[in-house]
Structure 1
Amino acid sequence: MTRGIGWFDSFRAVAPDWSVVLLGLVTQLGDVWFLGFLVGVVYWAAVPDRRDEAATVLGVTLAGLSLITGLKEVFALSRPDRVLVAVETLPETVHPLYRATATATGYGFPSGHALMSTVVYLSLAEYLSIGTRRQRYLGAAGIVTAVSFSRVALGVHYLVDVVAGVVVALVFLLLAAGLFDRYPDRRGTVGFALALGVAVLSLVPARTDPDAVLLFGTSLGAFAGWQLAVLVRDLEAGNGPIRTSRPLIARATVATLVVVGLAAVTLSYWAVPVIAGSGLLGLAAAAFVTAPVLYRSDHVGELVRESPTRSQ
């Protein structure tokens, strides 16, 4: 059974060679590096009152990465054996750009670019306050459509692949929205817990796939980092001291155990790059999630200013 629809050859016949560069640049709007950078900037730039909402965007982004990793392993369907333009027909100066933006490896179903673009841009449309809600969703839909078209036009996906990616992302977002609405005061925790849960599930079909292992460590670290961030925020609100509050004790315990565990894994399995890398990424994710909260915390600033090293 084929996943092809049959229009690619007609498009290739009329598409100019230079279009591969344009499509390659468009497809970067759905690439992991760009989406990660975009969501990271949004999270760090969030004002304290909207930190939880920004955390949910970061959480569903991590969950989406694990989701696509697991699904590709479940279906294990190859990519199309075709290209829009043969690299030999392009000027040699654009060969590196072509290989970096317009090629792909690994399994093809469903499309990771389509799934992740839908997850991220629709989440941002809900979170951001630029323009009207309708305008934001129309803009998100336009970007998702452009990215999905670029994947098919470049020949790295069938049309069925990108449609499936968008549909899966929409179902996932609807389920996630139900959880967020059920726990409106714990949206950040729910978002990172969702990321961790999907990461665990993706390990079943992916087994020892490096991406799945690395995403598990990253999601675990992000979850722990958020617990520490909320702990600091609760102390700022006067909900301490920690020893008198069970929720604060629980958060502190979870954050400490996870961070210590990730550090131990990193040091103990240094000779196994995937496992050590998973631990290291987890520590980096914990620091990334916690840092902006610590930076804006007057309580932590006072502790630093009053520490013995500062007074000497």
Structure 2
Amino acid sequence: MTRGIGWFDAFREVAPEWAVVILGLVTQLGDVWFLGVLVGTSYWLETDNRDRIAAVFGVLLAGLSLITALKHVFALPRPERTLVAAEALPEAVHPLYEATATATGYGFPSGHALLTTIVYLSLAEYGSVGTRRNRYIGAAGIVTVVCFSRVGLGVHYLVDVVAGVGIGLVFLLLVWRLLDRYPARRGTLGFGLAVALAAVAFVTTDAASDAVLLVGASVGAFAGWQFAALAREVDAGRGPIRGSRALTARAAAVAAGIVSLVALSGYYWPVSSLAGSGVLGLVVAAFVTLPVLYRSERGSGI
């Protein structure tokens, strides 16, 4: 069954060749690397709003696992079409074309559409830059142009991006309800959800390499956040750790996560994606923990 609606052919008739470069650059707003830099930078810089941005960080990881699982479940191909053949472009822009305007793997639903919906709307909801209304207007605009770029480049059908946005909205409504019910635990819930969905993706994809890496990243993020929270609580004078069940539970979660990641990276290195998963998890754990420890007077002595 085709997912095409005929829009792409009409657009290709009127689009100039240089449009592929513009669309390729626009689509980077929804690439994983850009979303990771955006959320990671916000996490480090928004010191007074870090708990909320930690939840967004967790939602990003959860969204990556969700789209990984869904693509393997549906296993539908991408369109066999391009907006412009590479041969029609100057040779100087071929590397840029390959890096920004092409895609591989399964096509339904659109990962860019789903992830931009999840990340930009979450930043609009929990961010602190500008007004809430302006954040939502900006988020809606970015989601729209990214979705347009995916269809315009010919790497997705219109149905793919509509489904991606729809699934992202449903996902957010469910997750936000949970996060807002327990506002003091947003970070823990966000990263915990990431671990749960990473496990689902691991099983659904039969341990595909992307799913394996997401398991490590999610476990590392969860352990790193527990360590950061533990440091803040000790810094606030809520210790000693052994005298509090909550602090003991956090310390146990940190130990279990870090030990498992070290074991993965050490035992399987350097031949398996499992080793890469362990190393990635340790890097993510450090990334999540360091900005909190930097501001902690006593927590860094844990």
Opposite residue 60 of structure 2, the aligned amino acid is T
Q: State the alpha-carbon separation in 2 of the partners of residues 60 and 285 from structure 1.
A: 15
Question: Based on CA coordinates, which of the two structures has the bigger radius of gyration?
Answer: 1
Matches within 5 A, 1:1-312: 1-47=1-47, 49-300=48-299, 303=301
TM-score between both structures, scaled by the size of structure 1: 0.95
Following TM superposition, by how much is the alpha carbon of 1:256 offset from its aligned partner in structure 2, in angstroms? 1.1
Following TM superposition, by how much is the alpha carbon of 1:272 offset from its aligned partner in structure 2, in angstroms? 3.1
Following TM superposition, by how much is the alpha carbon of 1:204 offset from its aligned partner in structure 2, in angstroms? 2.0
Following TM superposition, by how much is the alpha carbon of 1:130 offset from its aligned partner in structure 2, in angstroms? 2.7
Q: State the alpha-carbon separation in 1 of the partners of residues 83 and 64 from structure 2.
A: 27
Following TM superposition, by how much is the alpha carbon of 1:131 offset from its aligned partner in structure 2, in angstroms? 2.7
Q: State the alpha-carbon separation in 2 of the partners of residues 134 and 31 from structure 1.
A: 25
Identity of aligned residues (%): 67
Following TM superposition, by how much is the alpha carbon of 1:300 offset from its aligned partner in structure 2, in angstroms? 4.1
Alpha-carbon RMSD across the aligned residues, in angstroms, is 1.1
Gaps of 5+ in 1: 305-312
Q: State the alpha-carbon separation in 2 of the partners of residues 140 and 279 from structure 1.
A: 33
- The count of residues paired between Structure 1 and Structure 2 equals 302
Match of residue 309 from structure 1: none
SS in 2 for 1:298: coil
Following TM superposition, by how much is the alpha carbon of 1:103 offset from its aligned partner in structure 2, in angstroms? 0.2
- Give CA deviations for 1:210-252 in whole Å, capped at 9, x if unaligned: 0001001110111011110000000011100111111111111
SS in 1 for 2:109: coil
Opposite residue 19 of structure 1, the aligned amino acid is A
Gaps of 5+ in 2: none
Following TM superposition, by how much is the alpha carbon of 1:201 offset from its aligned partner in structure 2, in angstroms? 1.0
